[in-house]
Amino acid sequence: MWGGIIAAMSSPRRLEEGGPWAPALALLVALTAACHQGGRGPAPVFSGETIDAPGLDVEGHRGDRGNHPPGNTLPAYAAGLAVGVDTIEADMQISADGQVFMGHDDDLHDTGCAWTGEGRAPSTRISSLASADIARFDCHAELEGVQAPPSLVAFLDAFFAEAGPEVALNLELKRPSRADADLYLEALIAYDAGCSGCFGERLILQSFEWSALRHARERYGDRLEFRAAILDKRGRYEEIAKARAYAEIWSPRHPLVDAERVEQVHALDMQIIPWTVNDEARMRALIELGVDGIITDYPDLLLRLVGRLR
């Protein structure tokens, strides 16, 4: 499905001719319309005035969450790739049987995914569900079939089949413990070994639990190449400076970014990639401050702003 949607988006003529991917794109268009009629409000409208931002890392939050909620699904990731993001931002959870799945929230009910199995769901939490039961939750009622939270393997298979070699991955370690970090890293290392090092320089690992990133760097840094991004809600310079020992990216809540902090963090030789920015004026202001990237629910808006929308 992922490849079909992207192929249709990139080839309007095939749609006009009723090409093989027209039904897939029609489903995605219907999903977009339903999203904007269903409580999230209208998508932001671009003013039309672009800004020069060479090298800016445009990161699609959960793929393309704003246009295709709840995000962290194959259709949402496909939409992010289709508009031309530089990086797909995604979140990793762990199932009851120790498998890694994509999802922002442990509770699938909070995400808006509905149980489609018989009777009552054994749980709505990924951490309490076996893999087979997670596959029975549908996160896109607007689409045909069951669009379940994808496993890490299914997500990576689709990503590497469709994304160009220039597109990066930013994966959040949602579970905070060292044991959880071990499981995430071992899963990524196993996948990388199976695809002969397909991650290359394309992988970012991010977390609010900075100790998990430090652990990942110390224990797995010689087995898997990645950049570490510290997610930050406080913006204390002393803490950021200490984290530079194992992290290359400061990824703060966007109101924490000002000219002074940009200068300080860049002096540490760290990149600055704030989240989650959905307002054009704020995107413009952050670019003028000199950030290195922006995580947004609306990558199409940011790409229009910098003149790079496909």
* Predicted TM-score of the model (pTM): 0.89
pLDDT for 208: 98
| Residue 85 half-sphere exposure toward CB, CA atoms < 13 A | 35
Is the alpha carbon torsion for 157, 248, 213, 107 positive or negative?
A: negative
pLDDT for 85: 99
What is the separation of C-alpha 88 from the centre of its chain, rounded to a whole number of angstroms? 4
Cα distance between residue 89 and residue 101, in whole Å:
14
Cα distance between residue 17 and residue 28, in whole Å:
18
Please list, in sequence order, all residues whose beta carbon lies within 8 angstroms of the beta carbon of residue 23, skipping any fewer than 6 positions away.
none
Please list, in sequence order, all residues whose beta carbon lies within 8 angstroms of the beta carbon of residue 74, skipping any fewer than 6 positions away.
1, 2, 147, 150, 154, 155, 158
Confidence of residue 265 (pLDDT cuts 50, 70, 90): very high
Cα distance between residue 65 and residue 61, in whole Å:
6
pLDDT for 42: 83
Residue of higher predicted confidence among 41 and 301: 301
Can you tell me the mean pLDDT for 281-292? Answer: 99
Residue 38: pLDDT over 70: no
pLDDT for 176: 86
Mean pLDDT of the chain: 90
Contact (Cβ atoms closer than 8 angstroms) between residue 56 and residue 46? no
Residue 66: pLDDT over 60: yes
Residue 2: pLDDT over 70: no
Which domains, ranges and CATH numbers included, belong to the chain? Answer: 56-305 (3.20.20.190)
Three-class SS state of 36? helix
pLDDT for 235: 98
Residue 17: pLDDT over 60: no
Residue 5: pLDDT over 80: no
Q: What is the pLDDT of residues 138-162, one digit of tens each?
A: 999 999 999 999 999 999 999 999 9
Cα distance between residue 104 and residue 62, in whole Å:
8
| Cross-strand partners of 89 | 61, 170
- Quick one: DSSP state of residue 151? B
Cα distance between residue 116 and residue 146, in whole Å:
8
Residue 41: pLDDT over 80: no
How many other CB atoms are there within 10 angstroms of residue 11's CB atom? 15
Q: What is the pLDDT of residues 21-33, one digit of tens each?
A: 233 344 454 444 4
